[in-house]
Amino acid sequence: MAKKRKYTEFPNPTSKAGELIKRRRLQMLIHSCCYYELDHELITDHQWQDWANELADLIKEHPDAYSDSYDEHFEGWDGTSGYNLPNRDPWVLGKAQSLIKRSQGFTTPSTF
């Protein structure tokens, strides 16, 4: 079984653009998993698309601002869909399941 990673275990960016790319990439991964793998929508399609568009623009404008183990999944990514992201990755799936559980009243919901 793969070890679950914490947000803080992902590389720390050295710029504001890098930090935002990191956040948006992880959000795209988690919320795509919720939607495509777990059939649960925690944010609206409109919110997801706003984040996706912002991320696509950031990646184009700052291609070297952030790098992590998910790089290959975001190469050429234009924000039109999260279907082909690694939605079954153990970290992504665990985080998505945790957020769904929280949204159902077990703890305070989060948009991470």
Which sign, positive or negative, has the C-alpha torsion 55, 58, 62, 65? negative
Q: What is the pTM of this model?
A: 0.84
Q: Which residues contact 43 (CB under 8 A, 6 or more apart)?
A: 31, 111
Q: What is the pLDDT of residues 39-70, one digit of tens each?
A: 999 999 999 999 999 999 999 999 999 999 89
Within-domain flag for 96: yes
Q: Is residue 5 part of a domain?
A: no
Domain residues for the domain of 48 are 11-106
Q: Indicate whether 1 belongs to any domain.
A: no
What does each of the 112 residues of the chain score in pLDDT, given as a tens digit?
445 555 556 778 889 999 999 999 999 999 999 999 999 999 999 999 999 999 999 999 999 999 998 999 999 989 999 999 999 999 999 999 999 999 887 655 555 5
Element (H, E) at 98: helix 90-101
Angle between helices 16-32 and 45-61 (to 10 degrees): 140
- 2 assigned to some structural domain: no
Residue type, position 28, single letter: M
Determine contact, residues 108/98, Cβ cutoff 8 Å.
Answer: no
